[in-house]
Amino acid sequence: MLSVRNLQASYGAAQVLFDVSLNVGAGEVVTLLGRNGMGKTTTIRAIMGLLQPQGGEVRFDGGTVTGFAPYRVAKAGIGLVPEGRQIFPTLSVEENLVATASTRLGSRRWTLDAVYDLFPRLKERRLNLGTQLSGGEQQMLAIGRALMTNPKLVILDEATEGLAPLIRLEIWDCLKRLRAEHQSILVIDKNVNALAAFADRHVIIEKGRSVWTGTSAELMADTTLKDRYLHV
């Protein structure tokens, strides 16, 4: 479904991605792991067209989307839950959700009601402004907003960052429900144990290069991996 090959990208003169490759198959849950500053968010930005790649290829759903404008990548079927949530603060919950609702043909799984069913809290808060929400509610809104585009692939960048443990569990539960519906997911998170229990495969990046890929069992079995690439 998503195939990233030898991706390269820079901020100005500073090259950040040197050689990132990863695949997400239909219905698969894949993680992108690595310490802070290794290029995870930059990889996502380059996939989404928020940053022009300088080399490599991004293929999605049978065609290239390399260097496409963000709206075209979204239209192709990739929904992003960005780092830092980035909800529209001056819009209500419901306006945030409707703002991204897709008219894309094909999958029409996600409606307002379906999002409210997944996150009843958002329904209670539907008239509240983005600024009036707790961190957890903002995160739920960011996920709901991505789902409203009826994406074939959802990408979550640090979706549990800064949330209280109980709220974190709610987010993981939500992702498990999506997974049970065979939603393809690419997820970035610091919580390696939760990810190992949840994901099919993992990709580790180090200084802008994908250096390892394997299953959850392989990840957990090799303690040197965690010491070498994941612990601070």
Ligand X SMILES: Nc1ncnc2c1ncn2[C@@H]1O[C@H](COP(=O)(O)OP(=O)(O)O)[C@@H](O)[C@H]1O
Query: Closer CB to ligand X, residue 140 or residue 205?
Result: 205
Six-digit token pair at 5? 């090959």
Segment 71-90, which members bind Mg ion (CB under 5 A)? Answer: 83
Q: Work out what residue 11 binds among ligand X, Mg ion, none; the CB cut-off runs from 5 to 8 Å by kind.
A: ligand X
3-state secondary structure of 74: helix
The angle that helices 165-180 and 135-147 make with each other, rounded to 10 degrees, is: 10
- 71 binding ligand X? (CB under 6 A): no
Segment 100-139, which members bind ligand X (CB under 6 A)? Answer: none
Q: Tell which residue, 65, 47, 44, 52, has the closest CA to residue 9.
A: 52
Query: Closer CB to ligand X, residue 39 or residue 56?
Result: 39
Number of residues located near Mg ion, criterion CB under 5 A: 3
Query: Closer CB to ligand X, residue 32 or residue 148?
Result: 32
Query: Closer CB to ligand X, residue 118 or residue 203?
Result: 203
Query: Closer CB to ligand X, residue 41 or residue 138?
Result: 41
Torsion, CA 126, CA 131, CA 136, CA 137, rounded to 10: 0
| Radius of gyration over every alpha carbon of the chain, rounded to an integer in angstroms | 17
- Print the binding letters for residues 2-41 with ligand X: x by CB under 6 A, - otherwise: ---------x--x-x-----------------x-xxxxxx
Q: Tell which residue, 232, 149, 160, 231, has the closest CA to residue 198.
A: 160
Cβ 34 to Mg ion shortest distance, Å: 9
204 forms beta bridges with: 33, 212
Residue nearest Mg ion, CB atom distance:
41
Compute CA distances 196 → 20, 71, 159, 201, 219, whole Å. Answer: 21, 32, 16, 8, 8
Q: Return the residue of 31, 41, 66, 102 that touches Mg ion, per CB under 5 A.
A: 41
Q: Work out what residue 47 binds among Mg ion, ligand X, none; the CB cut-off runs from 5 to 8 Å by kind.
A: none
Query: Closer CB to Mg ion, residue 40 or residue 201?
Result: 40
At 6, the amino acid letter reads N
Cβ 44 to Mg ion shortest distance, Å: 8
Q: Return the residue of 42, 66, 150, 160 that touches ligand X, per CB under 6 A.
A: 42
Cβ 125 to Mg ion shortest distance, Å: 27
At 144, the amino acid letter reads G
Angle at 109 between CA 189 and CA 25, to 5 degrees: 50
User: Position of tokens 């809104």?
Assistant: 141
Six-digit token pair at 109? 């799984």
Which positions touch Mg ion (CB under 5 A)?
Answer: 40-41, 83
Which positions touch ligand X (CB under 6 A)?
Answer: 11, 14, 16, 34, 36-42
